[in-house]
Amino acid sequence: MKQKVTQWVIPALLLLLPQSAFAQSQFITTPSSLNVAGTREAVESRTLLLQAPQPINGVAIAPSDLSRTDGVGVLPASLIEVKLPQGNKILGNQPLPVSIRFPLNRLNRSGEFSGALLLTYNGGQQIIPVTLRVKDAPWLPLFLLLIGIGLGTGLSLYRTEGKIYDESVVQVGRLRTQMRADT
């Protein structure tokens, strides 16, 4: 009796699973998620390796908009370049390198952006999460730091040398006025 129940339960459970669960187990992406970091002046590139145990046709990768975590900025999907080298076919057990370019120089703001790449193929789809961390170039803060150091040094020099000179000029002026008043 127990054996008959398991003969019916296991196939019934397999029918209840979504079809994408079968397709995703056939496909391997390396890395499983993309993490990109860079400055706003750069164009960052990453390579994603796709592999399947048997040949798969109709492979396409569509990027989504990468939204900043606070909702202020967006890197549009139209700016992200995805290049499949052999068209839209994966040969069995051979990794297919996919080049992905992120134009960080087109962003108006720095910050952390997140989105996904949608990998579709005959028989299913897979989502690859993308995290993009963008920093500002160090030139403006470095320039402001150097200006601050220059102003601080100038003020310090004035306090040690220039202030004494100014005070002596004021004293000479007072003496001159007193001498004129006496004559």
pLDDT (tens digit per residue) in 88-137: 777 777 888 888 998 888 887 888 889 998 888 887 888 889 998 888 87
13 pLDDT band (50/70/90 cuts)? very low
Judged by average pLDDT, the poorest of 54-63, 86-95, 147-156, 174-183 is 86-95
Say whether pLDDT at 1 is over 80. Answer: no
The b-or-e profile of 130-158 (16+ CB within 10 A means b, else e) is: bebebeeeeeeeeeeeeeeeeeeeeeeee
Q: Which pLDDT score, from 0 to 100, does residue 24 have? A: 44
DSSP run (H or E) holding 44: strand 43-51
3 pLDDT band (50/70/90 cuts)? low
Structure tokens at 109: 């703001």
Q: Which pLDDT score, from 0 to 100, does residue 75 have? A: 83
Say whether pLDDT at 147 is over 50. Answer: yes
Average pLDDT over residues 9-30: 54
Residue % of the chain over a pLDDT of 90? 7
Which has more confidence, 8 or 79?
A: 79
Cβ proximity of 30 and 49 under 8 Å: yes
Q: Which pLDDT score, from 0 to 100, does residue 182 have? A: 77
